Every structure is written in C-alpha cells, then in structure tokens.
Chains A and B, each alone.
Chain A
Amino acid sequence: QSVLTQPPSASGTPGQRVTISCSGSNSNIGNNYIYWYQQLPGTAPKLLIYWNNQRPSGVPDRFSGSKSGTSASLAISGLRSEDEADYYCAAWDDSLSGRVFGGGTKLTVL
C-alpha cells in the first residue's frame, strides 16, 4: 500500500465541485510540500499543483490545492468531462529519503 492515502475513486456531475483528499504523516506531508498530478488515460502524468497550492502556468484556476498538518486536498470546481482522469498526490518523505505518491484517485464525471 502507498505511504500517502487517497480515496480510490471520486465522482461528480458537470459544474459541481469535488475534492480529493491525501493523508500522510509528519515525515512527508507534515514537513514537506505536496504536489498534485493529473493523468489522462494513456498519457504521462502532468503537474497540476506544486508547493501545496500553486498552479503552473496553463493550469486552469478551477484546480486548487490546500494543506493542513499531515493532510492535503485537491479541489476541482466547475467540473468538466475532460477532468475525468486519475489524480495523484506526492511529497518527499524525510524518513524514507525518497519521494512518495498516493495510490491515486480515479475521478469520474457522471
């Protein structure tokens, strides 16, 4: 199982707001930045959020990130069909001296 814990699935209807959680510990989320990735089917992952809540250029402001203690969350507002993808959280883990990912959340747009 993954060091970071995400729900395996999430869903919403077009226009809705959905959130995806990511839970860790003091050695990873609690002490380091969280990153979020979007992976569309058959493609490489794409950075969606860096430094807990910052968006790279080109990422719509419908995507937002937050962090509190040893947990983080990704929010997607104004849900669109093209948001249907797998979403992963990641952080450096000081105890493991390596990067750790969440198990991924499959988002379905109903």
Chain B
Amino acid sequence: EVQLVESGGGLVQPGGSLRLSCVGSGFTFSSFSMSWVRQAPGKGLEWVAHIKQDESEKYYLDSVRGRFTISRDNAKNSLSLQMNSLRAEDTAVYYCVRDFSSGDSHEYWGQGTLVTVSS
C-alpha cells in the first residue's frame, strides 16, 4: 500500500523558516517524480513545486521561487520542502504528492501538514 506521510508543519512568524518532510513507502520512491501542493484555509488547490526522480529538474510556483527549495533523498525515500522568508499568504495545508505515473495509472497524496504563518 502506497503511503505518504508529511511532517514539519507548525506555527512560524513572518520572515521565518520551516522545513517540511515527506516519507514515502509501498513503492520504489526513486522511480517517481514528486510534488508539493498547498491549500489555504477554505481555498482551492495550488501547485507549489515539482522535482524529477533524479533531481535533474525542479520547477516552482512563481511566488515561492527563490524562497522555497524542493529536494529529495532517494536513499531515505524522503522528499523535503525548505521554506524561507515565509509570508502570511503561505499559510496552508501542504500536501506531498507522488506524481501520476503511466506505470500504475495512479497518483497519490499524503494527508497534509498545516503551516501557519502569523505573528
């Protein structure tokens, strides 16, 4: 069974930093591209960042580029999102996503971790 478990969310002051982690199990982590998607309270989904299997390509939402860094450790089946210079508008539930794969025709989402940026 595929599982994605996020951690690292919490309350942080504006301008502060936070590192989110996601551990995957039940699949060969190194074979799949991964993403972070967020959802502000009561709002819709917003894609944040994407990383290829071997970290050869990384893509970011314009509003987080330069502040957020996506990375992965395939040996530890782990995905991370380092978030710096946090703003109130970054407040959201952050979901770890195993991107769609034609291999098993599925996409998987974690349960999400809440990040609150407030003084």
Check if A and B associate: yes
Contacts A44-B95, A44-B109 given; does A98 touch B47 at CB 8 Å: yes
Q: Is B110 an interface residue (CB 8 A)?
A: yes
Question: What B residues does A45 contact at CB under 8 A?
Answer: 37, 45, 95, 109
Taken together as a complex, chains A and B put the C-alpha atoms of A96 and B109 apart, in Å, by 23
Question: Which one, B9-17, B20-28, B54-62, B74-82, is touching chain A?
Answer: B54-62
Q: Is A97 an interface residue (CB 8 A)?
A: yes
Question: What A residues does B46 contact at CB under 8 A?
Answer: 101
Taken together as a complex, chains A and B put the C-alpha atoms of A96 and B62 apart, in Å, by 8
Q: Is B44 an interface residue (CB 8 A)?
A: yes
Residues 39-64 of A contacting B (Cβ, < 8 Å): 39, 44-47, 50, 54, 56-57
Q: Is A103 an interface residue (CB 8 A)?
A: yes
Please classify the interface of chain A as helix (H, G, I), strand (E, B), loop, or mixed, using the class held by over half of its residues: strand
Taken together as a complex, chains A and B put the C-alpha atoms of A50 and B50 apart, in Å, by 18
Sorting the interface of chain A by its residue count into under 10, 10 to 19, 20 to 34 or 35 or more gives: 20 to 34
Question: What A residues does B85 contact at CB under 8 A?
Answer: none
Taken together as a complex, chains A and B put the C-alpha atoms of A2 and B106 apart, in Å, by 25
- Distance (whole angstroms) from the CB of B63 to the closest CB of chain A: 11
Sorting the interface of chain B by its residue count into under 10, 10 to 19, 20 to 34 or 35 or more gives: 20 to 34
Partner of A101, one of B45, B110, B111: B45
A50→B105 contact, CB < 8 A: yes
Q: Is A24 an interface residue (CB 8 A)?
A: no
B111→A44 contact, CB < 8 A: yes
B107→A47 contact, CB < 8 A: yes
B112→A99 contact, CB < 8 A: no
Taken together as a complex, chains A and B put the C-alpha atoms of A102 and B44 apart, in Å, by 8
- Distance (whole angstroms) from the CB of B32 to the closest CB of chain A: 14
- Distance (whole angstroms) from the CB of A95 to the closest CB of chain B: 11
A99→B106 contact, CB < 8 A: no
5 contacts between A and B (CB under 8 A): A45-B37, A45-B45, A54-B105, A90-B47, A96-B62
Besides the contacts A44-B111, A98-B62, what 17 more A-B pairs have beta carbons closer than 8 Å? A2-B44, A35-B107, A44-B110, A45-B45, A45-B95, A46-B109, A50-B105, A54-B105, A56-B106, A57-B106, A90-B47, A96-B62, A97-B59, A98-B47, A102-B44, A103-B44, A104-B44
